[in-house]
Structure 1
C-alpha cells in the first residue's frame, strides 16, 4: 500500500510527452494537443527524434536533451521501446509516468516480458507508473489533461477511476454534457503499478474530492483494496460499477458451497464489507452521484412523496417498495395541517397528491408541513407539466425551501423534456438532486439509504462471542495435518465433523465402525434408527455409491446394508480404499428448517463464508448470501437477513422463531475456522438443522490443500500472536493484546477514569468522553495498516498505545494513553516497546509522534526509548519525537 510520488502524477510542475507527434489521428498528436493547451500552468516538453516542433512548441530529440527533469512523463511510443524509456526517465529523476501504449496485456510471450521489465524498473527506482494500455489521466482543477480523450470536463469534486478507456470516454462525454465536474479522471489500464487501492488512499486525503467513482474489471491486490476502501468509505462516498457479473466459473466447484459462491457474489460481499455502494450501469452511477455528491443524508428509509399527478405517485411508490424502501406514514398532526392548506380532494395520505392544478403556493404549503413530520426521512417532490400551473415557479419554491436547510433531504423529479429542462438546470445550480423519472428518483433515495447503512455497519460495535468460548484449535489442526500429510484432498465425514465439534458447532452423534458387524452394534448403541455411510478416501461425492444415505432400523438390517455397500463399491470402484463405516444417529428436531453453511475460496478475495437454504435442492433454491471473514455477530446476522429463508426463521403459523443467536454464532465460528486454517479450501455443512432449540450439523465435507497454495484472507484477521501476559512493577498481572471491536465500552471506561489533564495531553483538546463514531473508529481498526495494543486486567483497559502507518508504509505515527491511577508502574514503557517491535516486524522504518511540551513524563519515556526530540514545525507548545526503528 503506497501513495509515494502520486503527487508527481496529479500535481506535477512539469510534463514531458515521449512520442509527441504532428501526425493527424495519432495518439501522440492528441496527447500533445491536450497537454499543450493553455490550461496547464507549467512547462510541457515534447520529445520526438524526428520532429523539430510540435505545433509551435519546440520539440526535443531525446530525453537526454530535456533542459529539466520532468515530474511526469506521458509515454506513447511502441511497446518494445517503453521499458528502456521508462528506465532512462527513472534514472534521470522523473518520479511518475503514464504509459498509454498498448501491447502489454498478453498472458505470455513478449507482452508479459515487457510487463516484467517495467516491474524490474519499479524495484530499482521510486518512479510510479499508471498503465500501460490506458487513455491517461486528467486533473481538471489544475488544467492537466494527460490523456487522449476527446473532451475535458469542467473542474469539480468527483473523482473517477477506471480500468476501461472506453468507459472513461463515455463518462467524460456524459459529464461534460451535463456540466458535471471532476477533481480527477484516471484510466488505470493494466495496473502494472498504480491500482485501485493506491488511488483510494490518495483520493480519500484529497480535499477537492467529495465522492469517488470506480469502474472495476479486476482487483490486483485484494487486501490493499479492502483496507483502502474501508478507510475511504468511512470518510466519503465510494460508488462502484463491477463488470463481468455473469461469469459462471463456480459451477465447476466440487461442493454446494463452491457452486453458490460465484465471483460476482463475492465482489458484492467485498463491496458491502468495505462500505462501497455498488451500481449496475453508468446512468445509475450518475444518479448516485446526483444524490450522494450533494452530501445529503437520510436517517432511514421512510420516504414521503408530494405530487401533482396521482399516477406519478403510484409509479414512485411501486419503485420504492420494489427497492426495499418504506412509504412514510404521515402523523395525524401532519394530515390535519395539510387538511387546512390543501383542497378537500387531496389524497389525505402519502403520496400527498396536491392535484393537477397545484400552483407554486400549494407545493410550498405541502412541503413545509411534510418536512416537519418526524416519521419522514426524505421527501420526493414530483411535477408533471400542465397548461394551468407554472412548473418553473413550482421549482423555485422547492429551491427556496431547500435553501432554508430543512431537517430532511429533498429530491425532485420534474417529468418530461422541453418545458421541464429549465427547472432541471435550476435544480442543478441550486444543488437540489433532480432526476428524469420517478424510478430514478426513488433509486437515488435508496442509494442514500444504502450508503448510510453501509457506513453505519463500518461503525458498529459488535458483541463478542459467548464468554469462555475457546475452540480446540490444536485438535482440529491434527485432523487437517493428517489428511494433508497423507496427500488426501478430502477429509472423511467424521474428520470433517471433528473439526466442527472442536470449534463448538453442534454435530449429529456418529460412531465409526471398521466392519459391518461393528456397524450393526453401533446402530444398537445409537438407538436402532440410524443413517449408514461408507468411508473411503476415493469416494467424495454424495452422488457416488459410498455417500448414499440409508435410513435403517435394527442391527441385522444395518449389517446387511453395510455388506451390500462394500460389494457395490468394490464392483464399481475396485481400487477404492475402504476405511469403514459411519453410523449416524437419526436427527429428531421437530419443525426444523434445512440450512447450509460453508467456506469456499474465491480466486481473488480468498476464503468466503456462505449461508443459505439447504437440503438436496440447495442450488435450485438459489437462496444464499456470502461474506468475507472475519465475521462478527452483526455481520453474521446481516448475512442471514439477506436471504429469503430469514422470514421462515422468524416463525410462522404454529412454528416458533428459530435459534438465530446460535446460528449467527456458528457462522462466526466458521469464520474463525477459515482464518485459522488456510489449508481448508472448501467446507460444506448441508444440511444444518435449526429449530427453536438450537442447531445441528448433519452432514459435513471438507476439502484441504497445502497451506503454501492458499489464497490469504482479504481482510487481515485479529493478530492473536501479539497477545502476551505480563506483570507491572507493582506485581499486577495483565494481558497485552491488540484492540478488538467489542472493546469500545472498556475504552470509554478508560477515558472516564483518566484525568482531564491526561486526556488533554493525549487528544490535544479538552475531552471528557468520545462520541460513538470516534470510539468505534478507534476500536475497529484495520490490522493491516494500524495497530492498537491494550493492557487489560479483569476486563478493564488500563492503557493503550497505537500506531497508524502512512500510505507509503514507511513511517507511522504513534499515540498512547495510560490510565491516571496506573501511571508510574512501567505500563507505558511495555506498551510502547511492544508497539515498536510490531512496527519493526511490519517493515516500518520510522515512528513519530507529537507530544505536548508540558508532558515531561512522555518526553522522558520517548528519550529512553531512543526517540529524537525536535521542535514541532506547526506548534510551539508541541515537540516532535522521531525514532529510526531499524536503529532503535
Structure 2
C-alpha cells in the first residue's frame, strides 16, 4: 500500500543540480566586478565535486576552452558575464545539458533569456549560492559560512553579508545560503520546496522584498513550516506603501503559511540565534498551546526584574510554579530567601544557576527558561559557564528550551563566546534572551494555527450567483466600474448577508412616500456613482421621524450637493429604515499587488479610517479562520460586551466574513468591496451600506491560496445502490478522517503506512486534511448520517511536486465498503485530476505481501517491479 508519509523521488534534476551540484563551471569575464570574489570563493571553498573555469585562469579551478570542451555536462554554471553575453552562454549550456545557473551581475532580460533557453537561474544580482556541507561557496560572501542547520534565502547581498558576519562571530552554521536576487526565474518557491525536503535544514530565514508567484510561494512556505520554523523579514514594506495595507497583507500571508514575521535586523538575528540552537519543547498540555510560560532564574534580583518586565511587555506570561516545584528549589537558595519566578539564587550562585535552569526546564508548567548571569565578585565565571554548557548537553527532548543571558563584556564576552561555540542560545542582555523565548512562542502559535484542526462545522453558502452576474453585467453595460449602494447591497443579499431594507426614490416626494412604507426613523442617502464618500458632502442623514422631514431633507440635500459637487451625477435617493443601536463594524475586500485579494475586519462607522483598527487575512476563509481574524482586531474586545452593550453575536459576524470571502472566490472581477457600517448586536448582523468596485474589463484577481474546488464534488452510486458524495477533502474533515483511521484493520494500517500505527497524530491529521489543491488532491467518499454528520468511507490521494511530471498515489477503503467498486472509482477520479494538472505518470509503493493491493493496481494497468531501494516493496507505475 502506498505511504502518505513520504514522497519518493520528487527532487527534480534542476533542483538537485542547483542546490546540491556535483560539478560547477564558472564562466568568467575578469572585467565584471563580481568575478574576482566569486572565483576566489569557489577556489577556497573546498568543493567536493569538480570545478572548472572558462574565460580566465584561477588557481584551484580546472581551465577549459569552452562549454563544449568541458569533460562533462556541469550541474551548475556561475555566469560572471556582461549582459550581452548571457544568452549565448545559456544557450550553449542548455545544448550541453546544463539547466541551472547563478547570475550575480546585471541581467535586465534574464526572465526572457531563461524562457528562450530553458536555463533557470538565481538572479539577476544574486548574492550567489553556498552549500557549506559540500564545500560550495559560489557567492559574494566576505566570510565563508560554516556548515550548520540554518538556511538563508535572501534578495539582498548586503543583508546576506551582515548575517554571515554575525554568524561567524556567534558560531552559527548554515545548510544553504541562497541569493534570489531579482527573482527572475528561480524564486522563493523553488528554494523553499528544496529546503522542505532537505534533511539537514532545521530552520529557514527569509529576506523578502518581491514575491513573483504568490500562490507558489505560500504553498511552498506552508510545506516548510509543517516540519521546521521559518522566519521572515521585509525591508521597505512601509516605504513602498505608506498606507501600511500591503505590509499588513504580507504579514497575513506569512501567518497563513505558518511563517514568523519579524521587524528589523536585530530581531532577525535574534531569531536566527534562537532557531539555530534551540529545540522547541514537545507536548505540554492545553495550557501550553501559547508556548509563552517563561521561567526566569538569575544570580541578581535586578536582572530578573528586567527580564520579567520584558516578558510582560512582549505579551508573554511568567510561569506559575506549583508549591511542590517551589519547595524543590529551597535547597538552592541562600538562607532566608524565598523561591519564586523570577528565581534569584544570589550573586555567588556559580554552578547552581545551571542546576536550577535544568530543574525548571523539566517542569510541565514551563515552556521556556531564561537563565540570567551577571559578573559577581569571588565567583569563578568560567566554572559557571562550563556548568551551563554541561547542563545544555544533558537536556532531554521533552525539556523546555533554555536561553541564556550572560551580561557584561570584559570577563563575560569570552565566556559567552565559549557557550555560543558549544551551541547554547546565549545573549548579552536579559531582553535579548526574553525576545528569543517569545519568538519561540510566536513561532509555535503561528505553525499551530496554520495546522489547526477545525471542527466538523462547515458553512454551506448557497448564493444566488445568477442575480449577482446580472447586476455586474448591468454595471458593465452602462460603462461603469463602480456599483451604486443599492447594487452593492444587492450583491450582499444574494450571498445571504442580511441587509437593511431600502427603496430607491427618484425625487423628494417619492423619498417621503418610501419612508412612510418602510417606517420611521428613516435614513436618507443620495444615489450618485460620482460620490464615493456620501457623508463628506452631506449625502447621508439619519433619524428622520416623518415623511415631511424626509421630503424637506431630500430637497436640502440636493441643494447642498449641487453647490459642493455640481459635476456629480444624481440618480435619486435610497431610503432605508434606520437600524436599532448596535456596534458598527467594517469589512473590506481589497487587492494587494503582491498577494492579491485580502479581507479586512475592524471598527466601522465614519471614523473607521482614523481608528486604525483593522485585522487582515487572505481568502478563502472558513469559520475557524474568520473567528481568528475577528480575534486579532481591537474591536473583538467591544464585541464581548461592555457597560450597557450586550455581547455581539460573533458567529453571525464570522458567517458574514465567510460569505464575503466566497464572493471573492466566485467573482474575481471584483476589485474592492466594503461593508460599512455592518451593524452587529446580540441578534445578528445587518449591512446598512456597501460599496463595490469592479476591475478593468478583462482583469481578474488571483488568490494566493487556492480555494476549495467545489466544482469537483460528485455523487456516485455503489454496486449495492447506496449513493455517496465523492469530493475533495477539506480541513473540516479532520475529525471524520481520524475516525475512519480508527476503523481500519491493523493489517490495513500496516499496508497503508508501512508501520503499525495505532493513532493518527493531530499533526498528521492536519497534514492529510489541509492540502494545497494546486499540488495535491485527495478525494474522500462520504455518507451522511441521520444526525447530519458525515462519515468518511474511502480516500484516494495524489501528491505531486510542481517541478516533476510524476505524482505518488495512495488509496484506502473501509472494510465494509470493499467490493463496491469504490476504490476503482476514487482512483479514476485521481487519474482525471492528474491529467488536467499536468501529471504524466503516477507512482506508488506497495508492500510485497499486500496481495490485494498488487492485484488492484495491476487491474488498473499499473506496471509492477521490485523497488531497487527496498526489497520488501513493489513499485507501481502508470503512464497517464
TM-score (norm 1): 0.92
Kindly provide the CA deviation profile for residues 572-614 of structure 1, in whole angstroms up to 9, marking residues without a partner as x: 666655433211111113xx32221111111111110101122
**Aligned-pair distance for 1:200?**
0.3
1:605-684 superposed matches below 5 A: 605-684=595-674
Asked if residue 296 in structure 1 is aligned to residue 279 in structure 2, the reply is yes
The SS at the match of 2:716 is strand
**Aligned-pair distance for 1:205?**
0.7
Distance 2:70 2:304 in 1: 65
CA separation of 1:601 and 1:3: change in aligned 2, threshold 3 A = farther
Aligned to 1:9: 18
Aligned to 2:221: 229
**1:28–1:76: 8 Å Cα contact kept in structure 2?**
yes
**1:15–1:74: 8 Å Cα contact kept in structure 2?**
yes
Aligned to 2:205: 213
**2:278–2:425: 8 Å Cα contact kept in structure 1?**
no
CA separation of 1:482 and 1:118: change in aligned 2, threshold 3 A = same
Distance 1:612 1:710 in 2: 26
Distance 1:871 1:372 in 2: 47
Aligned to 1:95: 99
Kindly provide the CA deviation profile for residues 657-689 of structure 1, in whole angstroms up to 9, marking residues without a partner as x: 322222222222221221111121111111222
Distance 2:68 2:278 in 1: 49
**1:2–1:807: 8 Å Cα contact kept in structure 2?**
no
**Aligned-pair distance for 1:799?**
0.7
**Aligned-pair distance for 1:176?**
1.9
CA separation of 1:644 and 1:539: change in aligned 2, threshold 3 A = closer
The SS at the match of 1:793 is strand
**1:3–1:198: 8 Å Cα contact kept in structure 2?**
no
Asked if residue 36 in structure 1 is aligned to residue 8 in structure 2, the reply is no
**2:863–2:877: 8 Å Cα contact kept in structure 1?**
yes
Distance 1:35 1:467 in 2: 57
**1:20–1:29: 8 Å Cα contact kept in structure 2?**
no
Aligned to 1:108: none
CA separation of 1:624 and 1:347: change in aligned 2, threshold 3 A = farther
Aligned to 1:325: 316
CA separation of 1:347 and 1:414: change in aligned 2, threshold 3 A = farther
Distance 1:683 1:291 in 2: 42
**1:383–1:391: 8 Å Cα contact kept in structure 2?**
no
2:253 is matched with which residue: 258, 270, 279?
A: 270
Distance 1:196 1:738 in 2: 28
Asked if residue 863 in structure 1 is aligned to residue 858 in structure 2, the reply is yes
**2:114–2:120: 8 Å Cα contact kept in structure 1?**
no
**2:170–2:421: 8 Å Cα contact kept in structure 1?**
no
Aligned to 2:113: 117
**Aligned-pair distance for 1:469?**
4.6
CA separation of 1:250 and 1:844: change in aligned 2, threshold 3 A = farther
Distance 1:607 1:171 in 2: 33
**1:46–1:59: 8 Å Cα contact kept in structure 2?**
yes
Distance 2:848 2:184 in 1: 46
Distance 2:341 2:218 in 1: 41
CA separation of 1:395 and 1:249: change in aligned 2, threshold 3 A = closer
Aligned to 1:83: 87
Identify unmatched segments of 5+ residues in structure 1.
Answer: 105-110, 252-260
1:387-466 superposed matches below 5 A: 387-405=377-395, 407-463=399-455, 465=457
**Aligned-pair distance for 1:198?**
0.3
CA separation of 1:284 and 1:576: change in aligned 2, threshold 3 A = closer
CA separation of 1:371 and 1:64: change in aligned 2, threshold 3 A = closer
Distance 2:300 2:696 in 1: 65
1:540-551 superposed matches below 5 A: 540-543=532-535, 545=537, 547-551=539-543
Greater CA drift, 857-866 or 180-189 = 857-866
Aligned to 1:711: 701
Greater CA drift, 27-36 or 91-100 = 27-36
RMSD (CA atoms):
2.4
1:593 is matched with which residue: 583, 598, 610?
A: 583
1:325-344 superposed matches below 5 A: 325-344=316-335
**2:51–2:62: 8 Å Cα contact kept in structure 1?**
no
**2:296–2:369: 8 Å Cα contact kept in structure 1?**
yes
**1:360–1:390: 8 Å Cα contact kept in structure 2?**
no
Asked if residue 805 in structure 1 is aligned to residue 812 in structure 2, the reply is no
The SS at the match of 1:382 is strand
The SS at the match of 2:571 is strand
Distance 2:676 2:456 in 1: 26
Distance 1:646 1:38 in 2: 55
Distance 1:177 1:765 in 2: 45
CA separation of 1:222 and 1:360: change in aligned 2, threshold 3 A = same
The SS at the match of 2:526 is strand
CA separation of 1:371 and 1:14: change in aligned 2, threshold 3 A = closer
Distance 1:759 1:307 in 2: 50
**Aligned-pair distance for 1:841?**
0.7
Distance 1:548 1:657 in 2: 28
**Aligned-pair distance for 1:2?**
8.8
Distance 1:150 1:467 in 2: 56
CA separation of 1:757 and 1:586: change in aligned 2, threshold 3 A = same
TM-score (norm 2): 0.93
**2:456–2:735: 8 Å Cα contact kept in structure 1?**
no
The SS at the match of 1:64 is coil
The SS at the match of 2:149 is strand
Aligned to 1:733: 723
**Number of residue pairs matched by the alignment:** 856
Aligned to 1:279: 262
**1:20–1:32: 8 Å Cα contact kept in structure 2?**
no
Distance 2:458 2:80 in 1: 60
The SS at the match of 1:82 is helix
**2:358–2:395: 8 Å Cα contact kept in structure 1?**
no
Distance 1:38 1:328 in 2: 47
The SS at the match of 1:448 is helix
Aligned to 1:247: 239
Distance 2:45 2:614 in 1: 56
Identify unmatched segments of 5+ residues in structure 2.
Answer: 1-9, 282-287, 785-789
Aligned to 2:505: 513
The SS at the match of 1:862 is helix
Greater CA drift, 93-102 or 825-834 = 93-102
**Aligned-pair distance for 1:763?**
1.9
Distance 1:561 1:681 in 2: 34
Greater CA drift, 556-565 or 600-609 = 556-565
**1:139–1:185: 8 Å Cα contact kept in structure 2?**
yes
Distance 2:806 2:409 in 1: 55
The SS at the match of 2:238 is coil
1:356 is matched with which residue: 315, 325, 347?
A: 347
Aligned to 1:767: 757
**Aligned-pair distance for 1:86?**
0.9
**2:458–2:623: 8 Å Cα contact kept in structure 1?**
no
1:778-817 superposed matches below 5 A: 778-794=768-784, 795-817=790-812
**1:493–1:700: 8 Å Cα contact kept in structure 2?**
yes
**2:192–2:220: 8 Å Cα contact kept in structure 1?**
yes
**Aligned-pair distance for 1:55?**
4.3
**Aligned-pair distance for 1:857?**
3.7
Greater relative contact order (CA < 8 Å, ≥ 6 in sequence): 2
**Aligned-pair distance for 1:773?**
1.4
Distance 2:196 2:710 in 1: 30
**Aligned-pair distance for 1:451?**
0.8
Distance 2:358 2:853 in 1: 56
Kindly provide the CA deviation profile for residues 507-542 of structure 1, in whole angstroms up to 9, marking residues without a partner as x: 222222334333212211222211111223333332
**1:464–1:632: 8 Å Cα contact kept in structure 2?**
no
**Aligned-pair distance for 1:209?**
1.2
**Aligned-pair distance for 1:4?**
4.4
